Structure 1
Amino acid sequence: MAQPSTSLSPPTFNGEQYHIWAIKMKTFLRGQGLWQYVEEDRQPPVLGSNPTLNQIRLHDEEATKSPRALSHIHAVVTEQVFTRIMAYESAKEAWDKLKEEFGGSDTTKGMQVLNLRREIEMLKMQESETVKEYVDRLMNVVNKIRLMGEEMTDKRIVEKVLVSLPERFESKISSLEDSEDLTQITLTDLVYALQAQEQKRLLRQEHSSEGAMVAEFKGKLGQGGSKRPAGEKKGKERMGNQWNKPTRGKEFPPCAHCKEKGHSEKSGCTNHMIANLEDFVNLDKSYHSKVKVGNGEFVAVKGRGDIAVQTKSVIKLIPNVLYVPSLSHNLLSVRQMMERKYALHFQDQFCTILDSERNELMKVRMMGKSFPIRLNKP
């Protein structure tokens, strides 16, 4: 649907997006004082005997309004649409024909509204989505319903958002229930509150990512020996020597993930972790554990399985992935990827992941200080 050339021009209609055009056109006709002649097919009053000059002038002005409204409708439709209404002599007849032709019958509109309401009922926020992305997706459907003249209150939208949020927002919802009446909260206030919670969580995860990276580099330095580049300070040398010393104390059995000794399974040995259950092609839900992330917190593992990722050229199966629903972003282990001969290239705010044959699998943009990955399912 074309945009009006000026603020005073009516919107052009080419046969698409009728409901949006109808709202804009109705507003334009109201501004011109002509909408009642379209809505009611209003006719000027009959002149009485011996009318005054002022009565004749008012009568003539009224008599021209219905044709003016019709001329506006003729002027804003394309030639293809004009042929559908050119036989009608009143603005109301032309408007009703356009509504019937492009807006659908009451039965058709009722079915469309029903399908959209079902779509809303099925909507749920994905683990990889932000609050804004989910609310935008929800409001896109809500606005389609409202365009068809059906009522969709903000209260109903707030209720839908609250019942379709993932588990990581439960504490925030409980806090809102304790602090204010959720039946009175506006959608805007709810979104602001959820985004604040989301931002705090993202900041915590950024710190966690930094801690995980440091731990990863420590492991690499420890395996690489005590050599250091020329020019490094002795303090760093002492630190490197400490990493090379054998750890005293408890001897752990081989880890269930990386098959190596020297740490417990709960220490977070950088395994692939996915938050969305739907990403798994198969999952062993009987597997339960806990892993410790970089900020020192333990998160629950509620399964282990395989995921399939659609890359640019092929479908890749990633095995031994942990299901951790409390995460807000999927985490791929650098160590696991390097063990499978993958390569990671960091440049210009992007991380490019290459397979063993140096084919590009995916390219991830940096957000904050981490690289959150959205999986492209086959």
Structure 2
Amino acid sequence: MTAQDGDNMPKPETDWTTDEVQSSNYNSKALNAIFTSVDINMFSLITNCTSAKSAWDILQRHCEGSETVRRTRLRILTSKFEMMRMEESETVLDYDRRLWEIANEAFSCGDHISNERLVSKVLRSLPEIFNIKICAIDEAKYTSQMAFEDLISSLRTLEMNMDMQKKDKGKTLTFQTAGESFRCCPRCGHNICKNSVCLKSTNSGNSNADEELEPDDEEMTLESVQKLYEDLFEDWTKRNKLNSTLVKENTDLKAVVAKLEVILFKKDVELGHWYFDSGSSRHMTGSREHLIDYVEQNCGRVTYGGGAKGKVVGKGTLNVEGLSKLHNVLHVEGLNSNLISISQLCDDNLLVKFDKHNCEVFDEANM
């Protein structure tokens, strides 16, 4: 809107059209969404903005930089992408994650790395152990149609198979029997082996495999292996029985402890022990004998800390030797403790003082 002196001035809200009111509401909602989504440092940059568009432009320049900055970042990312190689100790999944980090960052700078480009990059940067797979893909002439996710899945399958084969390459054992021996091989099964006189160790990764060990130190017959197994099984049986006994004793002890806790609670009530409770809203007891001026009435229920409820069957004045005559003490059916409410003491204008060892209550006369 233009004033009489030629200066621009805001249009009064009373003169706004329906479209202008709607546009103002949209702007306020968008500006509020931006304000609530940024941290305190970002907010200081846009705190004076009155339109969502101006706030967005400031954040875009701050986070993405100018066109020159974006081109520089894109050149650096392109160089990183071309120089990337999968390490020998790196898994396919880790290499895939590194590729996507660069691809996503390049996309934010305006460069979309195509599926064909990603596939070509992976095939050119794999270690030698994947050469068989690369040759198979090249022979099939399938690279232009292959999806990047399918290539990664295929490489991970090959990687898992190679890891499994490495684990299977273990030692084989030969045991002597009465005239012949047999070899237990995790890859080939059980094969009868003639003329074996002692325990042998075969390592598929060692050219000096089947090296014969010293008979005096490592000779092991089938009978000795069976005897060793029987001894170990007997020891395991004894330990298992002992463990079962200990578990049963532990269960019995827990049951005894639970019974003792119930007895101690009942003793507390019988002996008249009272506890200051900051979580209780009213004085309460489970024993009728502690109260005088008793009035039977149904005052509802009280809720304990664990969620259980107790029925209030009356109330009266506390009459316990050594304690003040507190009024409006609730009689709760089945309550196993005697509780003095800190909250109710304060409501009665009493002063409650705590220190490291004691809790003391004073009236207005400091008595």
TM-score (structure 2 length as normaliser) = 0.44
Which of 1 and 2 has greater Rg? 2
Higher RCO structure, 1 or 2 (CA under 8 Å, sep 6+):
1
